[in-house]
Amino acid sequence: MTNAAVHVEGQQQLLHTHVHEALAPAATHAKGQQHPIKLYLVVWAWLFVLSTCSYLVDFFGIHGHLRWSLILLFMVLKAGLIVAVFMHMAWERLALAYAILLPPVLVLVFVAIMVFESDYTHFLRVMFFAPTA
């Protein structure tokens, strides 16, 4: 009973917003992506900071796991900012976002396969093709 009531109420609300939008079409419906310029400038500044950070990783010659994790961290943050804000993915419908963003993540499976493969190749090269004394 209560469920049905909530449902009806929700539909009324939908109807209400629809009517409202229909009455004020031009004002509420600016076409396309509209965001304040400041947002882009802030993201731009962050991209500069992150790029500088990843450059400094090399400049100071950080090595080993710390280097790789820092590089990956800055890379993912930069990529995320570009896709989410500059390419407006943050404001797109989920149906598009998932269709575009999920497949590249699956490339990681390919990465895993090739890691095994190259380890194996490396092993063979060391075992059978290494220059012997």
Q: Does 128 sit near other proteins (CB under 8 A)?
A: no
DSSP 61: T
For residues 42 and 126, what is the distance between their CA atoms, to the nearest angstrom? 50
What does the per-residue mask of binding to other proteins show for 16-45, with x meaning CB under 8 A? --x----------xxxxxxx-x--xx-xx-
Selected from 93, 109, 132, 133, the binder of other proteins by CB under 8 A is: 93
- Residue 119's contacts (CB-CB under 8 Å, 6 or more residues apart) are none
Q: Shortest gap between Cβ of 34 and other proteins (angstroms)?
A: 6
DSSP 73-100: HHHHHHHHHIIIIIT-GGGS-HHHHHHH
The token duo for 53 is 């950070």
> How far is it between the farthest Cα atoms of the chain?
87
Other Cβ atoms less than 10 A from the Cβ of 131: the count is: 4
Selected from 6, 8, 66, 72, the binder of other proteins by CB under 8 A is: 72
Selected from 5, 23, 27, 103, the binder of other proteins by CB under 8 A is: 103
Q: Does 114 sit near other proteins (CB under 8 A)?
A: yes
In the block, tokens 């917003």 appear at: 17
Q: Which residues bind other proteins (CB under 8 A)?
A: 14, 18, 29-35, 37, 40-41, 43-44, 47-48, 51, 54-55, 57-59, 61, 68, 71-72, 74-75, 78-79, 82-83, 85-88, 92-96, 98-100, 103-104, 107, 110-111, 114-115, 117-119, 121-122, 125-126, 129-130
